[in-house]
Amino acid sequence: MRRRWVRRKQENGLFFIALVCLLTLLAFGFKEQLFCLVYPGVSYISGIQNVEKFELCKLTMAFSSGYYGYLEQRDNPDISVENLAGARALLKEYELSPGELIEDEMGNEGMARDESMSDVFLSEDVQNGIAAENESAGRESKEFIKAEAPAQVLDYEKLLDFDYLKKNFYTVDKSTDIGAELLDARKMLEYDASISGDNSKPQILIYHTHSQEEFADSIPGDDSTTIIGAGEKLAQLLRDEYGFNVIHHTGVYDVESRDYAYSAAGPAIEQILLENPSIEVVIDLHRDGVADSTRLVSDVGGRPTAQFMFFNGLSYLKSKGAVDYLENPYIEENLAFSFQMKLAADEYYPGFARNTYLKGLRYNMHYCPKSLLIEVGAQTNTVEEIMNAIDPLAHILAMVLRGEKP
């Protein structure tokens, strides 16, 4: 009798685990309704708007399960938490008390979901399809040829129209917003993004908050086929081809916990800048995380080339206003720098740059006026496509830093 009772308890436990897994899977399609059923105390907090109800449901589930990166979708608003202090502040405001806090700390920048986990779920069929696509195309490796003149000339008068500018050059995450006082084309074009010093001392720092980001055919254990390899190629081109003095920092901050990567990287970046006060440009190089069916590929000079995207943090959430604990005195300069880069890309290599993505937190862009966070391709791109993208990216960067464009 006791054995049957124990067996029944075990079966009930297994059934409960299976039910939880099923509910988690269903969350991909019915997440709002499911969250509010599972967390009714959170989803019906008095005085919170509908959007915030949903976000707090996500936030609470993140604290208890760690699945926030999976459940966040591009078409839904987002309240990210950059660090534990921010999480506590948000929870305190709504009088929530989860047993354990984790740090979502911008693990999902841009259109990306949880990028590190998207590699795990890049199905074998998709990987085989990518390989077959490249093989069937019969593409031969071609030398990169720099564009000597613009392929198109943008209508700069249209850029002065705020609504036109915002619609055609930016993707604004639903967690945040931006007004004409910040997104002012005239002021952004007037900004001097050129490097003022000579190359006798370090001028540019390249690093990777998420150093473990890989691509569709990256070789396990070979950093040269990951985002670190892309960063090294960019550093070499800027040195050898364009004459800049570049530090490529390959510190690892996302192995133990991707959730804490930005906080972990911060002190190291501060130390490098302290030791090298001549550095004027800081580039955090990433790759995006997208759906398996998404292929971010353009044709640049006959070469399959991964598209790239600039990313800016605004330290502003629609639900809360300015995020005071994430102060960034260089938001205007950050925006002007990426804007000039985007214009140069659109004129010289049309179709290469995606719309600049704006999101609500800071993303370690407060260390330097000329800070860039760049997403080159995604996990569905091949290493070849990524490396091909570095050539025009380096050319665009060189033009802007020399004051040649726009």
Beta strands 297-300 and 303-306: pairing type?
Answer: antiparallel
Mean pLDDT of 13-19: 62
Strands 356-359 vs 303-306: parallel, antiparallel or unpaired? unpaired
- Confidence label for 312 from pLDDT (cuts 50, 70 and 90): very high
Q: Is the pLDDT of residue 246 over 50?
A: yes
Give residue 334's pLDDT.
98
Alpha-carbon Rg for the chain, nearest whole angstrom, is 23
| pLDDT of 87 over the 50 cut | no
Out of 13-27, 72-86, 170-184, 313-327, least confident range: 72-86
Token representation of residue 268: 């190291």
Task: Give whole-number Cα distances, 112 to 29, 125, 173, 229, in Å.
Answer: 18, 21, 11, 20
| Residue 215, pLDDT above cutoff 70 | yes
Q: What is the pLDDT of residues 117-155, one digit of tens each?
A: 333 345 556 556 655 555 544 455 689 999 999 999 999
Better-scored residue on pLDDT, 335 or 260:
335
Residue 17 reports pLDDT greater than 80: no
Instruction: Look over the chain and give the mean of its residue pLDDT values, rounded to a whole number.
Output: 78
Tokens of 25: 């899977």
- Residues contacting residue 296 through CB under 8 Å, at least 6 positions apart: 288, 290, 306, 307, 354, 377, 378, 380, 381
pLDDT given for residue 289 in this prediction: 92
In 3D, which of 245, 233, 250 has the Cα closest to residue 281?
245
pLDDT in tens, 284-299: 999 999 999 999 999 9
Q: Does residue 378 surpass a pLDDT of 90? A: yes
Q: Which residues of 40-56 are buried (b: 16+ CB within 10 A; e: fewer)?
A: eebbeeeebeebbbbbb
Check pLDDT > 50 for residue 271: yes
Asked if 362 and 326 count as a contact pair (C-beta separation under 8 A), the reply is: yes
Least confident of 88-92, 353-357, 391-395: 88-92
| Per-residue tokens: 302 | 């006959």
**In this predicted structure, what is the pLDDT of residue 84?**
45
Q: Which of 63-67, 214-218, 348-352 has the lowest mean pLDDT?
A: 63-67
Mean pLDDT of 204-212: 96
pLDDT at residue 257 in the model:
78
Nearest-angstrom CA–CA distance, 289 and 361: 18
Residue 95 has pLDDT above 90, yes or no: no
Between 99-108, 145-154, 180-189, 311-320, the lowest mean confidence (pLDDT) is in 99-108
Nearest-CA neighbor of 116 among 126, 107, 103? 107
Residue 76 pLDDT > 80, yes or no?
A: no
pLDDT-based confidence at residue 97 (cuts at 50, 70, 90):
very low
The pLDDT of residue 255 is above 60: yes
Quick one: average pLDDT of 208-217? Answer: 95
Give the per-residue pLDDT at 174. 96
Q: Under CATH, domain 115-401 is a member of which superfamily?
A: Zn-dependent exopeptidases (3.40.630.40)
pLDDT at 98 over 60: no
From 51-55, 165-169, 260-264, 287-291, the region with the lowest mean pLDDT: 51-55
- Mind spelling out the 3-state secondary structure of the chain? CHHHHHHHHHHHHHHHHHHHHHHHHHHHHHHHHHHHHHCHHHHCCCCCCHHHHHHHHHHHHHHHHCCHHHHCCCCCCCCCCCCHHHHHHHHHHCCCCCCCCCCCCCCCCCCCCCHHHHHHCCCHHHHHHHHHHHHHHCCCCCCCCCCCCCCCCCCHHHHCCHHHHHHHHEEECCCCCCCCCCCCHHHHHHCCCCCCCCCCCCCEEEECCCCCCCCCCCCCCCHHHCHHHHHHHHHHHHHHCCCCCEEECCCCCCCCCHHHHHHHHHHHHHHHHHHCCCCCEEEEEEEECCCCCCCCEEEECCEEEECEEEEEECCEECCCEECHHHCCCCHHHHHHHHHHHHHHHHHHCCCCECCEEEECCCCCCCCCCEEEEEEEEECCCCHHHHHHHHHHHHHHHHHHHCCCCC
Beta bridge partners of 317: 321
- CB 298 within 8 Å of CB 305: yes
Confidence of residue 301 (pLDDT cuts 50, 70, 90): very high
Tokens for 106, please give them. 């911008």
Which residue ranges make up each domain of the chain?
2-93, 115-401
* pLDDT for residue 14: 58
User: Minimum mean pLDDT among 139-148, 237-246, 268-277: which range?
Assistant: 139-148
Of 39-48, 148-157, 195-204, 220-229, least confident by mean pLDDT is 39-48
Question: How confident is the model over 323-352, as a mean pLDDT?
Answer: 97
